[in-house]
Each structure stands twice: as C-alpha cells, then as structure tokens.
Amino acid sequence: MRFLLIAFLLIATTVSAQTRSTAAVSPTFFGGVPSGTASATPLQLTILETINRALQHNLGVLDAEEAVNRARGTRWTALGELLPTIGARVSETRQIFNFAAFGVNPQNFGFPAVIGPFNLFDVRVALSQAVVDVHAMNSLRAENHNIAAAQFAVKSARDLVVLVSANLYLQALAGRARTETARAQMQTAEAVFQQASNMKENGLVAGIDVVRADVQLSTERQRVTAAQNDYEKTKLQLARVIGLPLGQAFELVEDLPYVPVPDMTLDAALDRAYQSRPDYQAALEHVRAAEATRRAIAGEMMPDIRVNADYGPIGLTPADSVNTYAFVGALNVPIFNGRTRGRLAEADADLRLRRAEAEDLKASIYYDVKNAFLDLQATAEQLQVATRGRDLASQQLVQARDRFTAGVTNNVEVVQAQEAVALASEQYIQALYGYNVSKALLARGLGIAEEATRQLLGGAR
C-alpha cells in the first residue's frame, strides 16, 4: 500500500508538471496540418528537426501568419480612404423627351411638347481625393499598429510552438526511458522468478517465494505494457503537433544535449523579458492602435477637405464631342453628430481595456519569470537527489538478491527492493523531465525560446 501511494503521488506530480508547462497554450497549438506522404521507412527525428517541422506545419503558427495577412488587408482598406479614387465611364444615350410628363407645356413658348429623338455621347474620367482627413489618417495609423501587433503575435506563436513541441519531445523521451526501465525491471523479475523456482526445486525456499516472484513478474509485465502504451500515445500527440503525414512512423534518435542555465539575475531576466516578450510587445501595439482609433473617431468631428474632378469629351456623336471638365474643392465642417459621441465612449472603454490587458500581461511576465527561477532551482535539486536515490536503490536490489541467494532472507526483501528501484527510476525520469521543462519555460518567459533553441542546438530553419 505504501508503494502504491508513492506511485500515485509521482503520477500526480508528472501530470502537474506537464499541465504547468502547457496550461496557457491555446488548443490550436496542439493541432497541425499533415504534409507530405507517409513512407515505409521510419523517420529519425532529432529535437531540432521536430521543432523545425512544428514551426512549418503547426496550426497555431499558420493561424498567426494568416492573421498578419488579414491585418494587412484591413490596412489597405484604411489606406483606400487616403488614396485617390479614379474611375472611367463611356456612355451613349438615344432619347425622346416628353416635357408634358413633368408638368411643362413648351408649346406656350412655341416649342414642341416632345423633343427627339436625339443622341448624347459622353466619355469621362473622374477623380476624388481627400486632401485633409484626420479620421482617415488616424485609422491608417491604427491599422499600422495592428499589423505590428500581429507580427509580434507570430513571433509569440513560434515561441509557443517551440515550447509545445519541445515539451512533447521531452515527454516522449521520458516515456521511452520509462519503457526501457520497465523492461529492465521485468528482466530482473524474470531472473528472480527463475532463481526462486530453482531454489524451490532444491528445497532451499518455500513455495510462497515462487508465488511472490511470479506476482512481481506479472506486475512488471503490466508496467511494461502501460509504459509502452503511454509512450506511443505521446508520439501520436507529437506527430500531430508537427504535421507528420498520417500513419508516418518515426523514432526519437537522440537524448537531449545538455542545455546550460542562463547566467543572469532575476532583475536582469525581467528587464530582458519586458524588452523581448513578443506577446507583451503585441499588447503595447494594441494599446497604440486603440489610441489611434480613438483619435480617428474624434477626427470625424473635425473639418475635412476633398477634391473632386472629372474630364472628358461630350457631344451628340463622337465626331462632334467637345472636351469638358469640372473641378470642385469642398470643405466639410461637422456641426453635430451624436453617433460620433457614442463611438468615442466605446473607444475610450476599449482603450482602458487594452491598457489594463497590457498591465496584466506585464505582471504575468513577472510571475512567469519568477516561477521559472523557482522551478529551475527546485528541479535542479530534485535531479541531484533523484540521481543519488536511483543509484542507492540499484545497490539495494543487488544486495537483496545476494541475501536471498545466500538464504539469509526470503524474497520479500527482493520484491521491495524491486519496487524501490522502480520508484527511484520514476523519480529520476520525472526530475530530469522537470529540469529540462523548467529551462524551456524560462526561455519562454524571457521571450527567447526560438532564439535560444537555435543557439543551443546549433540549427537553422
């Protein structure tokens, strides 16, 4: 019962660590667009190749990149209010005109009531141009800030994809290590069972020792099955995130290289994060966009100047047409517009909300970085303790088997030692996973996840 309780606590710790590492990630980042055709030969994936594939095919990155394109389209819409509008028209009319239909009797003046038929030919090029339009200029500025925010969002999305794909790669490596450890434990259990069976045949131990060894062997086989299943399910999640072709088999070809911890103080890390975090820079751009939007709405209450012009030949036929033109400059002065005042109130509320979101994100960055520092310190100490615990548990198992072979004790001690090795191995795997995740979260907290990955793993896109 004591071993079951410890195992349950270890599993809860594993789930908690995995949840913390991806808690703030949108479900979009766990999807990917499959690309290519599956091959019969399993792919050999390094962590750098995994991250590169994720950056190319992950749905979160693709969605962020399309958001930039949408923002650029919106900017062109705003820019259109400042660009000239030019159009051309060619028309030819044949008409009979009845004055009586309009209540006029031209016969009183010696003219017929019906005139026509007659032709009218007109070719005209028209131009309309805003000369001064405060509303349009500020709307354009707002959309420029929205594009900048969307571009920062792309960088933030790429950092998140690096975190998600690296985290899943780490989980897969941990799953593989658990599977290998479980197989080693099963082989040990098989050896102990065979040893107990031989000793019973020689009359050296009781039958209960063989039963106990057989039960332990069955337990280890179940652990191998469960570990292998979890490992394969984690690989399926990883395959989806990085957009592998459906049904493509792959293997993890290497363990992670040693990743050094950034040598900086908490204050230096916070300064770096405020300058580098793309999500915070995007939030500041949204604030600037909201300010420009408010100025644009206020600009609707200010005068604007527009120029309209047209030019072209007009006449009864193309042959006798005469070039004519018109040029109009207009000053429009708004006097009262209740709708604009309502929109100003909405813009003020939006601006306050954007500022509050930016301040909240700044506080979130502080807590993210500080938590990352605390987790990094704690997981480093846990890894040291877990490494020593694993070594001691292995020595304890060797000694217990020797004592059982010598007839000093029954195999209860061996079974307990096997359980201790299993738990110590799980603690080591979890500590190593947590330590690597803490370093990844610190890089994400500083806003340099992709940059740090490139530098430490020595790769390019």
User: Does an H or E element contain 237, and which?
Assistant: helix 207-241
pLDDT tens string 49-95: 999 999 999 999 999 999 999 999 999 999 999 999 999 999 999 88
Q: Tell me what pLDDT residue 62 has.
A: 94
Residues 6+ apart with CB under 8 A from 63: 28, 157
Q: Is the pLDDT of residue 365 over 60?
A: yes
324/446: higher pLDDT: 324
pLDDT tens string 234-263: 999 999 999 999 999 999 886 666 666 777
Question: Which residues sit opposite 252 in a β-bridge?
Answer: 45
The span from the CA of 230 to the CA of 200, in Å, is 37
Sheet order of strands, 304-315 included: 85-98, 114-132, 304-315, 322-332
The span from the CA of 152 to the CA of 277, in Å, is 9
Q: Is the pLDDT of residue 133 over 70?
A: yes
- Nearest C-alpha neighbor of 170 from the set 370, 438, 448: 438
Residue pair 280/369 in contact by the 8 Å Cβ criterion: no
23/390: higher pLDDT: 390
The span from the CA of 35 to the CA of 27, in Å, is 20
Residue 117: cis peptide before it, omega within 30 degrees of 0: yes
Q: Is the pLDDT of residue 461 over 60?
A: no
Average pLDDT, the chain: 85
Question: Which residues sit opposite 309 in a β-bridge?
Answer: 127, 327
Q: Tell me what pLDDT residue 17 has.
A: 43
Q: What is the DSSP string of 262-304?
A: P---HHHHHHHHHHH-HHHHHHHHHHHHHHHHHHHHHHTTS-E
Q: Tell me what pLDDT residue 2 has.
A: 36
Q: Tell me what pLDDT residue 318 has.
A: 87
- pTM of model > 0.85: no
Q: How confident is the model at residue 19 (pLDDT cuts 50, 70, 90)?
A: very low
In order of start, what are the domains of the chain with their CATH numbers?
2-82+134-301+355-457 (1.20.1600.10), 84-132+308-336 (2.20.200.10)
The angle subtended at Cα 336 by Cα 332 and Cα 337, nearest 5°, is: 95
Task: Give the least confident one: 107-111, 328-332, 341-345, 440-444.
Answer: 107-111
The span from the CA of 15 to the CA of 374, in Å, is 19
Q: What are the φ/ψ torsions at residue 120 (nearest 5 degrees)?
A: -145, 120
Q: Tell me what pLDDT residue 216 has.
A: 87
